[in-house]
Structure 1
Protein backbone atom coordinates (compact mmCIF):
# COMPACT_ATOMS: atom_id res chain seq x y z
CA UNK A 1 0.00 0.00 0.00
CA UNK A 2 2.67 2.52 1.08
CA UNK A 3 6.42 2.18 0.71
CA UNK A 4 9.20 4.56 1.70
CA UNK A 5 12.32 3.42 -0.10
CA UNK A 6 15.70 4.66 1.14
CA UNK A 7 14.16 8.00 2.14
CA UNK A 8 16.35 10.71 3.64
CA UNK A 9 14.61 13.89 4.79
CA UNK A 10 14.71 16.61 7.41
CA UNK A 11 14.39 20.30 8.06
CA UNK A 12 16.82 22.71 6.45
CA UNK A 13 20.32 21.38 6.94
CA UNK A 14 19.24 18.99 9.68
CA UNK A 15 18.68 15.51 8.30
CA UNK A 16 16.34 13.41 10.42
CA UNK A 17 15.69 10.35 8.26
CA UNK A 18 18.70 8.44 6.95
CA UNK A 19 17.89 6.13 4.02
CA UNK A 20 14.80 4.88 5.87
CA UNK A 21 12.87 2.07 4.22
CA UNK A 22 9.49 0.82 5.38
CA UNK A 23 6.32 -0.59 3.81
CA UNK A 24 2.74 -1.22 4.90
CA UNK A 25 0.62 -4.20 3.98
CA UNK A 26 -2.87 -3.62 2.64
CA UNK A 27 -5.81 -3.87 5.09
CA UNK A 28 -3.59 -4.01 8.17
CA UNK A 29 -2.18 -1.96 11.02
CA UNK A 30 1.52 -1.12 11.03
CA UNK A 31 2.64 0.29 14.38
CA UNK A 32 5.72 2.50 14.55
CA UNK A 33 7.52 2.78 17.88
CA UNK A 34 10.55 4.76 18.97
CA UNK A 35 11.81 7.42 21.35
CA UNK A 36 10.96 11.09 20.94
CA UNK A 37 13.16 12.56 18.23
CA UNK A 38 13.71 9.21 16.51
CA UNK A 39 12.13 10.44 13.29
CA UNK A 40 8.66 8.88 13.48
CA UNK A 41 6.70 12.08 12.85
CA UNK A 42 9.13 13.16 10.13
CA UNK A 43 8.56 9.82 8.44
CA UNK A 44 4.79 10.41 8.37
CA UNK A 45 5.25 13.96 7.09
CA UNK A 46 7.47 12.67 4.29
CA UNK A 47 4.88 10.02 3.46
CA UNK A 48 2.10 12.58 3.01
CA UNK A 49 4.26 15.13 1.21
CA UNK A 50 4.57 17.80 3.89
CA UNK A 51 8.35 17.58 3.58
CA UNK A 52 10.29 16.57 0.50
CA UNK A 53 12.86 13.79 0.66
CA UNK A 54 16.41 14.80 -0.16
CA UNK A 55 16.81 11.30 -1.57
CA UNK A 56 14.77 8.14 -1.93
CA UNK A 57 11.24 7.51 -3.17
CA UNK A 58 7.70 7.23 -1.81
CA UNK A 59 5.27 4.78 -3.45
CA UNK A 60 1.53 4.49 -2.90
CA UNK A 61 -0.35 1.55 -4.43
CA UNK A 62 2.61 1.01 -6.72
CA UNK A 63 2.75 4.61 -7.98
CA UNK A 64 5.78 6.82 -7.39
CA UNK A 65 4.28 9.81 -5.55
CA UNK A 66 7.56 11.35 -4.39
CA UNK A 67 6.92 14.63 -6.22
CA UNK A 68 3.16 14.87 -5.62
CA UNK A 69 1.67 17.52 -3.33
CA UNK A 70 -0.19 16.59 -0.12
CA UNK A 71 -3.47 17.47 -1.84
CA UNK A 72 -2.74 15.07 -4.68
CA UNK A 73 -1.90 12.33 -2.21
CA UNK A 74 -5.19 12.87 -0.37
CA UNK A 75 -7.05 12.53 -3.67
CA UNK A 76 -5.31 9.19 -4.21
CA UNK A 77 -6.55 7.87 -0.87
CA UNK A 78 -4.21 9.00 1.92
CA UNK A 79 -5.25 10.81 5.10
CA UNK A 80 -3.04 12.13 7.90
CA UNK A 81 -3.95 13.00 11.48
CA UNK A 82 -1.01 14.88 13.01
CA UNK A 83 -0.07 14.96 16.66
CA UNK A 84 -1.85 17.42 18.92
CA UNK A 85 -5.63 17.09 18.36
CA UNK A 86 -5.63 19.79 15.68
CA UNK A 87 -8.84 21.56 14.69
CA UNK A 88 -10.27 24.92 13.65
CA UNK A 89 -10.77 26.10 17.21
CA UNK A 90 -13.18 28.96 16.44
CA UNK A 91 -15.52 26.73 14.44
CA UNK A 92 -18.03 24.34 15.94
CA UNK A 93 -17.47 20.61 15.87
CA UNK A 94 -19.97 20.25 13.02
CA UNK A 95 -18.44 23.14 11.08
CA UNK A 96 -15.04 21.44 11.35
CA UNK A 97 -16.53 18.36 9.69
CA UNK A 98 -18.29 20.42 7.02
CA UNK A 99 -15.07 22.22 6.05
CA UNK A 100 -13.62 18.89 4.94
CA UNK A 101 -16.90 17.53 3.57
CA UNK A 102 -17.48 20.55 1.33
CA UNK A 103 -14.15 19.91 -0.37
CA UNK A 104 -15.31 16.39 -1.19
CA UNK A 105 -18.59 17.44 -2.84
CA UNK A 106 -21.84 15.54 -2.41
CA UNK A 107 -20.05 12.34 -1.38
CA UNK A 108 -18.20 14.18 1.38
CA UNK A 109 -21.36 15.62 2.90
CA UNK A 110 -22.90 12.16 3.09
CA UNK A 111 -19.83 10.90 4.95
CA UNK A 112 -20.35 13.17 7.96
CA UNK A 113 -22.94 10.77 9.37
CA UNK A 114 -20.63 7.82 8.71
CA UNK A 115 -17.78 9.52 10.58
CA UNK A 116 -20.06 10.33 13.50
CA UNK A 117 -21.12 6.69 13.69
CA UNK A 118 -17.48 5.92 14.49
CA UNK A 119 -17.45 8.57 17.23
CA UNK A 120 -21.01 8.88 18.61
CA UNK A 121 -19.76 10.97 21.56
CA UNK A 122 -19.34 13.88 19.13
CA UNK A 123 -23.09 13.96 18.54
CA UNK A 124 -23.47 15.61 21.95
CA UNK A 125 -21.07 18.46 21.12
CA UNK A 126 -21.72 19.23 17.45
CA UNK A 127 -22.62 22.86 18.20
CA UNK A 128 -19.73 23.45 20.61
CA UNK A 129 -16.63 25.36 19.51
CA UNK A 130 -13.79 22.94 18.84
CA UNK A 131 -11.50 25.00 21.06
CA UNK A 132 -13.78 24.24 24.02
CA UNK A 133 -13.77 20.48 23.53
CA UNK A 134 -11.75 18.15 25.73
CA UNK A 135 -8.52 16.71 24.35
CA UNK A 136 -10.21 13.38 23.73
CA UNK A 137 -13.11 14.99 21.89
CA UNK A 138 -10.72 17.03 19.73
CA UNK A 139 -8.79 13.89 18.83
CA UNK A 140 -11.99 12.09 17.90
CA UNK A 141 -12.92 15.11 15.78
CA UNK A 142 -9.53 15.11 14.06
CA UNK A 143 -9.86 11.45 13.10
CA UNK A 144 -13.48 11.91 12.03
CA UNK A 145 -12.43 14.75 9.72
CA UNK A 146 -9.83 12.50 8.12
CA UNK A 147 -12.39 9.74 7.59
CA UNK A 148 -14.62 12.09 5.58
CA UNK A 149 -12.04 11.94 2.77
CA UNK A 150 -12.71 8.15 2.56
CA UNK A 151 -9.04 7.19 2.82
CA UNK A 152 -7.59 3.82 1.94
CA UNK A 153 -4.57 4.61 4.11
CA UNK A 154 -4.82 6.46 7.43
CA UNK A 155 -1.65 7.78 9.06
CA UNK A 156 -2.02 8.55 12.77
CA UNK A 157 0.60 10.36 14.85
CA UNK A 158 0.24 9.66 18.58
CA UNK A 159 -3.59 9.47 18.56
CA UNK A 160 -3.83 8.65 22.29
CA UNK A 161 -1.20 11.08 23.61
CA UNK A 162 -2.53 13.27 26.42
CA UNK A 163 -6.02 11.79 26.18
CA UNK A 164 -8.11 10.92 29.23
CA UNK A 165 -8.16 7.14 29.84
CA UNK A 166 -11.93 6.88 29.37
CA UNK A 167 -11.58 8.05 25.75
CA UNK A 168 -8.33 6.24 24.93
CA UNK A 169 -10.11 2.87 24.82
CA UNK A 170 -12.72 4.24 22.40
CA UNK A 171 -10.06 5.62 20.05
CA UNK A 172 -8.07 2.41 20.20
CA UNK A 173 -11.12 0.29 19.37
CA UNK A 174 -12.04 2.58 16.48
CA UNK A 175 -8.54 2.17 14.99
CA UNK A 176 -8.86 -1.61 15.21
CA UNK A 177 -12.36 -1.50 13.67
CA UNK A 178 -11.14 0.66 10.78
CA UNK A 179 -8.50 -1.93 9.89
CA UNK A 180 -11.07 -4.71 10.12
CA UNK A 181 -13.31 -2.76 7.72
CA UNK A 182 -10.55 -2.79 5.10
CA UNK A 183 -8.56 0.36 5.81
CA UNK A 184 -4.78 0.33 6.08
CA UNK A 185 -3.42 2.14 9.15
CA UNK A 186 0.09 3.39 9.87
CA UNK A 187 0.14 4.16 13.59
CA UNK A 188 2.81 6.06 15.49
CA UNK A 189 2.12 5.28 19.13
CA UNK A 190 3.95 5.52 22.46
CA UNK A 191 1.58 3.10 24.22
CA UNK A 192 3.63 -0.02 23.56
CA UNK A 193 0.98 -2.43 24.83
CA UNK A 194 -1.71 -1.15 22.49
CA UNK A 195 0.67 -0.62 19.57
CA UNK A 196 1.90 -4.21 19.67
CA UNK A 197 -1.40 -5.92 20.38
CA UNK A 198 -3.33 -3.98 17.72
CA UNK A 199 -0.71 -4.26 15.00
CA UNK A 200 -0.42 -6.84 12.27
CA UNK A 201 3.17 -5.64 11.85
CA UNK A 202 5.41 -3.29 13.78
CA UNK A 203 8.66 -1.41 13.27
CA UNK A 204 11.01 0.40 15.63
CA UNK A 205 12.62 3.62 14.47
CA UNK A 206 15.84 4.92 16.04
CA UNK A 207 18.07 7.75 14.83
CA UNK A 208 16.12 8.08 11.60
CA UNK A 209 16.34 4.42 10.60
CA UNK A 210 14.22 1.29 11.00
CA UNK A 211 16.19 -0.90 13.39
CA UNK A 212 13.74 -3.74 14.05
CA UNK A 213 10.60 -5.27 12.54
CA UNK A 214 8.12 -7.90 13.63
CA UNK A 215 4.59 -9.19 13.13
CA UNK A 216 1.52 -10.43 14.93
CA UNK A 217 2.64 -14.06 14.83
CA UNK A 218 5.16 -13.36 17.60
CA UNK A 219 3.96 -13.87 21.17
CA UNK A 220 3.62 -10.83 23.42
CA UNK A 221 6.76 -11.49 25.47
CA UNK A 222 8.90 -11.87 22.33
CA UNK A 223 7.56 -8.65 20.84
CA UNK A 224 8.05 -6.65 24.01
CA UNK A 225 11.59 -8.02 24.48
CA UNK A 226 12.56 -7.09 20.91
CA UNK A 227 11.10 -3.60 21.28
CA UNK A 228 12.82 -2.92 24.61
CA UNK A 229 16.16 -4.10 23.22
CA UNK A 230 15.77 -1.93 20.13
CA UNK A 231 14.73 1.13 22.15
CA UNK A 232 17.84 0.73 24.26
CA UNK A 233 20.05 1.38 21.21
Structure 2
Protein backbone atom coordinates (compact mmCIF):
# COMPACT_ATOMS: atom_id res chain seq x y z
CA UNK A 1 0.00 0.00 0.00
CA UNK A 2 1.67 3.24 0.30
CA UNK A 3 1.50 6.91 -0.41
CA UNK A 4 -1.81 8.59 0.30
CA UNK A 5 -3.68 11.28 -1.59
CA UNK A 6 -6.72 13.34 -0.80
CA UNK A 7 -9.65 10.97 -0.49
CA UNK A 8 -13.37 11.55 -0.98
CA UNK A 9 -15.03 10.93 2.43
CA UNK A 10 -17.84 9.07 0.65
CA UNK A 11 -15.35 6.80 -1.13
CA UNK A 12 -14.44 3.39 0.26
CA UNK A 13 -10.79 2.39 0.66
CA UNK A 14 -11.20 -0.07 -2.22
CA UNK A 15 -12.67 2.61 -4.50
CA UNK A 16 -9.94 5.06 -3.52
CA UNK A 17 -7.07 2.70 -4.28
CA UNK A 18 -8.68 1.25 -7.42
CA UNK A 19 -8.94 4.78 -8.81
CA UNK A 20 -5.31 5.52 -7.91
CA UNK A 21 -4.09 2.39 -9.71
CA UNK A 22 -6.20 3.11 -12.78
CA UNK A 23 -4.34 6.41 -13.23
CA UNK A 24 -1.38 4.59 -14.82
CA UNK A 25 -0.46 1.19 -16.24
CA UNK A 26 2.18 0.66 -13.55
CA UNK A 27 2.15 2.66 -10.35
CA UNK A 28 5.35 1.30 -8.79
CA UNK A 29 8.77 0.33 -10.12
CA UNK A 30 8.25 -3.42 -10.22
CA UNK A 31 11.34 -3.91 -8.02
CA UNK A 32 11.10 -5.35 -4.50
CA UNK A 33 11.59 -2.99 -1.58
CA UNK A 34 15.27 -2.76 -0.68
CA UNK A 35 14.64 -3.28 3.03
CA UNK A 36 12.80 -6.54 2.35
CA UNK A 37 15.64 -7.80 0.18
CA UNK A 38 18.17 -6.97 2.88
CA UNK A 39 16.21 -8.42 5.77
CA UNK A 40 14.83 -11.56 4.10
CA UNK A 41 17.86 -12.54 2.04
CA UNK A 42 19.36 -14.61 4.86
CA UNK A 43 16.13 -16.17 6.09
CA UNK A 44 15.15 -19.77 5.43
CA UNK A 45 12.13 -19.70 3.09
CA UNK A 46 8.84 -20.66 4.70
CA UNK A 47 5.41 -19.05 4.84
CA UNK A 48 5.22 -15.31 4.21
CA UNK A 49 2.42 -12.76 4.43
CA UNK A 50 2.75 -9.52 2.44
CA UNK A 51 0.33 -6.87 3.76
CA UNK A 52 -0.58 -4.15 1.29
CA UNK A 53 1.15 -5.93 -1.59
CA UNK A 54 0.21 -3.43 -4.30
CA UNK A 55 1.36 -4.63 -7.71
CA UNK A 56 3.15 -7.59 -6.13
CA UNK A 57 6.89 -6.96 -6.47
CA UNK A 58 7.74 -8.03 -2.91
CA UNK A 59 5.52 -11.12 -3.02
CA UNK A 60 6.97 -12.18 -6.38
CA UNK A 61 10.54 -11.71 -5.11
CA UNK A 62 9.78 -13.91 -2.11
CA UNK A 63 8.01 -16.58 -4.18
CA UNK A 64 10.91 -16.83 -6.62
CA UNK A 65 13.16 -17.60 -3.65
CA UNK A 66 11.03 -20.46 -2.38
CA UNK A 67 8.62 -18.74 0.00
CA UNK A 68 4.96 -19.75 0.06
CA UNK A 69 3.37 -16.32 -0.03
CA UNK A 70 -0.03 -14.93 0.86
CA UNK A 71 -0.31 -11.39 -0.52
CA UNK A 72 -3.18 -9.07 0.33
CA UNK A 73 -4.34 -5.66 -0.81
CA UNK A 74 -7.56 -3.64 -0.72
CA UNK A 75 -7.40 -2.91 -4.47
CA UNK A 76 -8.71 -5.49 -6.88
CA UNK A 77 -7.04 -3.56 -9.71
CA UNK A 78 -3.65 -3.90 -8.01
CA UNK A 79 -4.18 -7.60 -7.34
CA UNK A 80 -5.07 -8.31 -10.98
CA UNK A 81 -1.84 -6.64 -12.04
CA UNK A 82 0.14 -8.46 -9.37
CA UNK A 83 -1.15 -11.85 -10.50
CA UNK A 84 -0.28 -11.01 -14.10
CA UNK A 85 3.22 -9.88 -13.13
CA UNK A 86 3.70 -13.11 -11.16
CA UNK A 87 2.75 -15.23 -14.18
CA UNK A 88 5.15 -13.23 -16.36
CA UNK A 89 7.92 -13.80 -13.79
CA UNK A 90 7.24 -17.53 -13.57
CA UNK A 91 6.00 -17.24 -9.98
CA UNK A 92 2.29 -17.60 -10.67
CA UNK A 93 1.82 -20.66 -8.46
CA UNK A 94 3.87 -19.32 -5.54
CA UNK A 95 1.49 -16.61 -4.35
CA UNK A 96 -2.05 -16.71 -2.99
CA UNK A 97 -3.51 -13.28 -3.87
CA UNK A 98 -6.30 -12.18 -1.52
CA UNK A 99 -8.36 -8.99 -1.43
CA UNK A 100 -8.83 -7.65 2.10
CA UNK A 101 -9.86 -4.28 3.42
CA UNK A 102 -7.63 -4.60 6.47
CA UNK A 103 -9.93 -2.28 8.42
CA UNK A 104 -12.55 -5.03 8.12
CA UNK A 105 -10.88 -8.41 7.51
CA UNK A 106 -7.50 -10.09 7.85
CA UNK A 107 -6.23 -13.36 6.31
CA UNK A 108 -6.30 -16.38 8.60
CA UNK A 109 -3.20 -18.40 9.40
CA UNK A 110 0.33 -18.12 10.79
CA UNK A 111 3.43 -17.07 8.89
CA UNK A 112 7.19 -17.23 9.38
CA UNK A 113 7.52 -13.73 7.91
CA UNK A 114 4.88 -11.01 8.03
CA UNK A 115 5.92 -8.00 5.98
CA UNK A 116 4.24 -4.58 6.07
CA UNK A 117 5.95 -2.00 3.86
CA UNK A 118 4.77 1.61 3.67
CA UNK A 119 1.35 0.97 5.13
CA UNK A 120 0.35 4.63 4.87
CA UNK A 121 -3.00 5.75 3.51
CA UNK A 122 -5.35 8.70 3.65
CA UNK A 123 -8.17 6.26 3.00
CA UNK A 124 -9.64 4.71 6.14
CA UNK A 125 -7.00 2.48 7.74
CA UNK A 126 -6.64 1.70 11.47
CA UNK A 127 -2.91 1.15 11.07
CA UNK A 128 -2.11 0.36 14.71
CA UNK A 129 -4.83 -2.29 14.93
CA UNK A 130 -3.77 -3.80 11.59
CA UNK A 131 -0.16 -4.11 12.75
CA UNK A 132 -1.28 -5.73 16.00
CA UNK A 133 -3.19 -8.32 13.97
CA UNK A 134 -0.07 -8.76 11.85
CA UNK A 135 1.99 -9.47 14.98
CA UNK A 136 -0.59 -11.99 16.16
CA UNK A 137 -0.20 -13.82 12.83
CA UNK A 138 3.55 -14.42 13.29
CA UNK A 139 4.39 -18.06 13.99
CA UNK A 140 6.74 -18.96 16.87
CA UNK A 141 10.28 -18.20 15.71
CA UNK A 142 8.94 -15.96 12.94
CA UNK A 143 9.56 -12.31 12.09
CA UNK A 144 7.39 -9.23 11.80
CA UNK A 145 8.97 -6.63 9.51
CA UNK A 146 7.46 -3.13 9.47
CA UNK A 147 8.95 -0.48 7.18
CA UNK A 148 7.53 3.02 6.82
CA UNK A 149 8.41 6.56 5.91
CA UNK A 150 10.15 8.69 8.53
CA UNK A 151 8.77 11.90 7.01
CA UNK A 152 6.79 13.00 3.95
CA UNK A 153 9.86 13.77 1.88
CA UNK A 154 10.88 17.10 0.38
CA UNK A 155 8.92 16.67 -2.83
CA UNK A 156 5.87 14.78 -1.62
CA UNK A 157 4.45 16.79 1.24
CA UNK A 158 1.12 17.30 -0.52
CA UNK A 159 0.77 13.55 -1.04
CA UNK A 160 1.26 12.87 2.68
CA UNK A 161 -0.54 15.86 4.18
CA UNK A 162 -1.60 15.20 7.76
CA UNK A 163 -0.28 11.63 7.80
CA UNK A 164 1.53 10.35 10.90
CA UNK A 165 4.97 8.81 10.47
CA UNK A 166 5.75 6.96 13.72
CA UNK A 167 9.31 6.15 14.73
CA UNK A 168 10.35 2.50 15.16
CA UNK A 169 10.07 2.97 18.92
CA UNK A 170 6.53 4.33 18.55
CA UNK A 171 5.55 1.42 16.30
CA UNK A 172 6.95 -0.99 18.87
CA UNK A 173 4.88 0.66 21.59
CA UNK A 174 1.75 0.58 19.42
CA UNK A 175 2.19 -3.17 18.82
CA UNK A 176 1.70 -3.93 22.55
CA UNK A 177 3.82 -7.09 22.29
CA UNK A 178 3.68 -9.54 25.15
CA UNK A 179 6.75 -9.03 27.38
CA UNK A 180 9.29 -11.83 27.25
CA UNK A 181 7.82 -13.33 24.07
CA UNK A 182 9.49 -11.12 21.49
CA UNK A 183 13.03 -10.00 20.60
CA UNK A 184 13.72 -6.68 18.88
CA UNK A 185 16.27 -7.42 16.15
CA UNK A 186 16.33 -4.04 14.46
CA UNK A 187 14.79 -0.64 15.16
CA UNK A 188 16.39 2.12 13.14
CA UNK A 189 16.07 4.96 10.69
CA UNK A 190 17.80 4.62 7.31
CA UNK A 191 18.13 6.44 4.01
CA UNK A 192 17.38 4.98 0.62
CA UNK A 193 17.90 6.33 -2.86
CA UNK A 194 14.75 7.03 -4.82
CA UNK A 195 13.53 9.05 -7.78
CA UNK A 196 10.37 11.15 -7.76
CA UNK A 197 7.71 11.00 -10.47
CA UNK A 198 9.85 13.27 -12.68
CA UNK A 199 12.73 10.78 -12.23
CA UNK A 200 14.79 13.28 -10.26
CA UNK A 201 17.13 11.41 -7.90
CA UNK A 202 17.00 11.98 -4.18
CA UNK A 203 17.06 10.36 -0.77
CA UNK A 204 14.16 9.29 1.41
CA UNK A 205 14.33 8.73 5.15
CA UNK A 206 12.56 5.57 6.29
CA UNK A 207 12.05 3.59 9.49
CA UNK A 208 12.41 -0.13 10.02
CA UNK A 209 11.30 -2.36 12.87
CA UNK A 210 12.11 -6.08 12.86
CA UNK A 211 10.88 -8.19 15.77
CA UNK A 212 10.98 -11.95 16.26
CA UNK A 213 8.45 -14.02 18.17
CA UNK A 214 10.46 -16.27 20.46
CA UNK A 215 9.84 -20.01 20.06
CA UNK A 216 8.20 -21.98 22.81
TM-score range, shorter chain: 0.3 to 0.5
The structure carrying a bigger helix percent of its residues is 1
Q: Which has the higher contact order (CA 8 A, sep 6+)?
A: 1
TM-score (norm 2): 0.35
- Structure showing greater radius of gyration is 1
Normalising by structure 1, what TM-score? Answer: 0.33
